[in-house]
Amino acid sequence: MGGIVENVTDENYKELTESSATVVAYGIASCEPCAAYDPVLAGVAEKLPHVRIGKAKMHVPGKCREIKKRHAFETYPTTHLYSRGNLLLTREGKIEEDELIALIQRHLSQG
């Protein structure tokens, strides 16, 4: 599913995070840095099609209830890097595209 940013919900969260290389960005609608992060995520998805990129819209009622129970976020956006169900890295705030690509290449298998 490379090249796209997937919508993350309670229903697909486990399957998504159990992939070999996954980035999940958590955000809310009223967050300007979250909106500014969208093109970064899209760019990374295009450049690294072997990595699954997902965005969890934490403000959408009923979509991320279980995710909210698992994680307490103090800052949005917050980005998690997962491999096969293991959380490898947490980064708060917007990450620039080149830095996110470097983090992915450093922490996630190449698929």
Q: Examine residue 110 and state whether it is found in any structural domain, yes or no.
A: no
> Does a structural domain hold residue 75?
yes
Residue 21 sits in a domain of what CATH number? 3.40.30.10
> What integer is the mean pLDDT of 97-102?
97
Does residue 74 sit within a domain?
yes
Instruction: Please work out, in degrees rounded to the nearest 5, the angle formed at the alpha carbon of residue 16 by the alpha carbons of 22 and 50.
Output: 45
35: domain range? Answer: 5-99
Residue 15 lies in a domain: yes
pLDDT tens digits, one per residue of 25-79: 999 989 999 999 999 999 999 999 999 999 999 998 889 999 999 998 999 999 9
Compute CA distances 65 → 8, 12, 48, 72, whole Å. 11, 13, 29, 12
Q: Per the domain annotation, does 104 fall within a domain?
A: no
How many structural domains is the chain composed of?
1
Decide if 106 is inside a domain.
no
Residue written as token pair 């990374």: 44
User: Shortest CA distance to 76 belongs to which of 97, 95, 93?
Assistant: 93
Domain contains 52: yes
